[in-house]
Amino acid sequence: MATIESVSPDPIGDMNSIHQDIPPAPPSLDPPISVPDTSFASQLTKSATPSAPYHPVQPTYKQPPAPQAPQQQDRSLTELTDKGDAIVKQVISGDTLLIRAQKGLNGPPTEQQITLTMIQGPKLGRRPGPRDTDSSEGTQDEPYAWASREFLRQLVIGELVQYSVEITVKNSKKIAKVMYNNENLSEKIVRAGLAKLREQPSKKGTEEYDRIVQFKEEAEALKLGMYSMVTTDSIRNVQTINQDTSTQFVDKHKGKILDGIVEQVLNGNTLRLCIPSTHQNFTAQITGIRCPSRDDPQDDPELGLRAKYAVEIRLLQRDVKIRFDGINNQVPLVTILHVRGNIAEYLIQEGFARVMQWSQKHLPDQQTRDKYKQLENAAKQKGVKIWLGAPPLSSSQSYSTDKKKYQAKVLEIVSAEQLILKTGDKQDSIQKVFLSSTRGPPRKEFESSRPTRALYDQPFFFEAREFLRKWLVGKKVSVEVDYTRPPQDQYSERICVTIIAPQGAGGGTNDNVKNVAEALIIRGLGLAIRHKGGDDLRSQHLDALMRAEGIAKDEGRGLHAKKMPDNAILKVAELSTDVSKARTFQSSLQRSGRVKAVVEYVTSGNRFRVYIPKEQILISFILTGISCPKGPGGPVQQGQEEPYGIDAINFSKEKVLQHDVSIIIYLVCGFMPL
């Protein structure tokens, strides 16, 4: 468990500069780690002039400093009383602030909400909450409520103010006089016409009260703010981007940089953002990184709280630039650019965040990805925060693979998400792979206790297999390894890949889609896996898979159909164990001459199990006129297989397994047609 020290050179525990959000770096004992600057700060507007340099890279200490006796903290810096200095953490509305102590004592500093004395600002609207009814749409802003809040936010957010509590009412609500730069905030906002005078009997007749009345009358005479005759633009039309609209929203803005405000910090890498020009609000994640979360039991909750606070003191209600990089699970992925730098770089360098491989692929250039990895390696080397005592490799980290990209031939479709590939001419070139972040049709539990044949008895299993079989078996495809999932419980190691076919599957449904997983999912024959935020083992094309699933749902395809089609489950007759049934079909099959079939299983070089679609029957089949050496499996005991038996099986598998074939049946010998 990480510990927050009361006195620390870390900017989270010790705000050395009370007038600035980001303190100056302490003197360095060693030269700082040199990392090439490839940030996107150059894309910020020229008018944005930082008041202090951003310090994403803290100095490296080879030896820890000698322990010192704990120093007595000044209580005025760590506590909020009824009077003192504080930093404005958040502007809630035109008359209400959330202030915090200047320093934390064994954790983030204490906070307190105060209302400005003698005034009442227009109320901001409220978006629907979890307890609202379906018909509730929240409430609308009062006129000039947003302008009032913005006036106060731009004036005092992150600044040092002096406050004096005058009244404490029910629910511990505190009404206070707040001074900033020797100016009374109540007077300043009333003078701008963005708040009204509130009756406060104890203040009547005082010089302070008379002065604020005078400012109110001046604002009325000048028709400022709330006293203006113009009200058309004084109420926001707030648009909340949700899961249903996020994909379209990101597609519209992908690659663009927009002005924004950080309205809320949910955790170190998840923010609630606002685009003030359009009043669009949305939740987003910072691209390429993940911080500890208090909601994840595998994370250190104390470190998650520190990461959240580290972002709050730098970005909460600050003007930022938002670059849209992509989308994950209907949540936009963005890069946040502050005038003092890229917050992701700071979080990585300080050990508050780890680089997530799946997410950083959405970053627009390789230089930024490389820089993130360099910063992470530096943090690992120092062993700071999340890397404190961490082993060199995480147990969930993917194993290295000899080949990341290669060509292969598809030999067999095991299921909707499992394939057998041949990567070369040698015996060990046969490889089972899994489609990354993809799950086949879910298995249905039957009331009957009879054994089921999943391929035929489970809904959509056969249709999904047939779609891939007809499209891919015997074809050369491009394979890219996304990750290798280590063995877990009863599951062995899984190589998870993206497979790109040489051409689309056709059939009239998104014919040109060559990504096999995407083509499967868009037809409603598979599902995209919803990964947890900390799971770095995922498809590099997960956003495309999620988009494909959305299309399948909207159009009610396959698994997403309101009513399961009749052909979702096949009624296949098994003739291999019933000689009487086999003889029943013998005459009709012999009269048919060439019969179309699919080879489902190869027992030996000349023995197969074949499925005949026209009759919906499954039979065992022996090639007439030849005999092949017995291979492993079947009636042959282990170690008793004949020479070249396995070679004969592999030859037949490559030539006919899961291929469309034509067969001619001459007679039934026992249970086996010839």
Q: What is the DSSP string of 527-544?
A: EE----TT---S-TTHHH
Assess contact for 369 and 288: CB atoms under 8 A.
yes
Class of domain 573-673: mainly beta
Residue 588 binned pLDDT confidence (cut-offs 50, 70, 90): confident
Assess contact for 143 and 159: CB atoms under 8 A.
no
Assess contact for 259 and 275: CB atoms under 8 A.
yes
| Mean pLDDT for all residues in the chain | 81
- pLDDT tens per residue across span 497-517: 999 998 887 765 666 789 999
Domain boundaries, the chain: 73-227, 405-568, 573-673
Q: So what's the pLDDT on residue 25?
A: 36
CATH of domain 405-568: 2.40.50.90
Mean pLDDT throughout 338-345?
93
Assess contact for 143 and 122: CB atoms under 8 A.
yes
pTM of the model as a whole: 0.66
Domains 73-227 and 573-673 share a fold: yes
Task: Please determine, for residue 4, whether its predicted confidence score (pLDDT) is greater than 70.
Answer: no
Mean pLDDT throughout 32-54?
39
For the chain, helix (H) and strand (E) counts, in that order, are: 15, 31
CA nearest neighbour of 539 among 336, 369, 374, 329: 329
Bridge-based pairing of strands 174-180 and 430-435 is unpaired
- pLDDT tens per residue across span 171-208: 778 999 999 999 999 999 999 999 999 887 778 888 88
CA nearest neighbour of 90 among 138, 140, 152, 148: 152
Q: So what's the pLDDT on residue 9?
A: 34
Q: So what's the pLDDT on residue 21?
A: 41
Look up residue 526 and give its amino acid: G
CATH topology for the 73-227 domain: OB fold (Dihydrolipoamide Acetyltransferase, E2P) (2.40.50)
Q: So what's the pLDDT on residue 539?
A: 86
Among 43-57, 323-337, 606-620, whose mean pLDDT is lowest?
43-57
- pLDDT tens per residue across span 227-245: 987 777 788 999 999 988 9
Q: So what's the pLDDT on residue 633?
A: 64
Task: Please determine, for residue 117, whether its predicted confidence score (pLDDT) is greater than 50.
Answer: yes
Residue 237 token pair: 């039309």
The backbone torsions φ and ψ at residue 452, rounded to the nearest 5 degrees and listed phi first, read -110, 150
CA nearest neighbour of 312 among 288, 338, 334: 338
Task: Please determine, for residue 48, whether its predicted confidence score (pLDDT) is greater than 90.
Answer: no
Cα 543 from Cα 36, distance rounded (Å): 30
Q: So what's the pLDDT on residue 173?
A: 84
Cα 116 from Cα 130, distance rounded (Å): 30
Residue 61 binned pLDDT confidence (cut-offs 50, 70, 90): very low
CA nearest neighbour of 149 among 128, 123, 175: 123
Residue with tokens 């889609």: 513
Task: Please determine, for residue 348, whether its predicted confidence score (pLDDT) is greater than 90.
Answer: yes
CA angle 507/525/284 to nearest 5° reads: 110
Look at 483 and 402; give whichever has higher pLDDT: 483
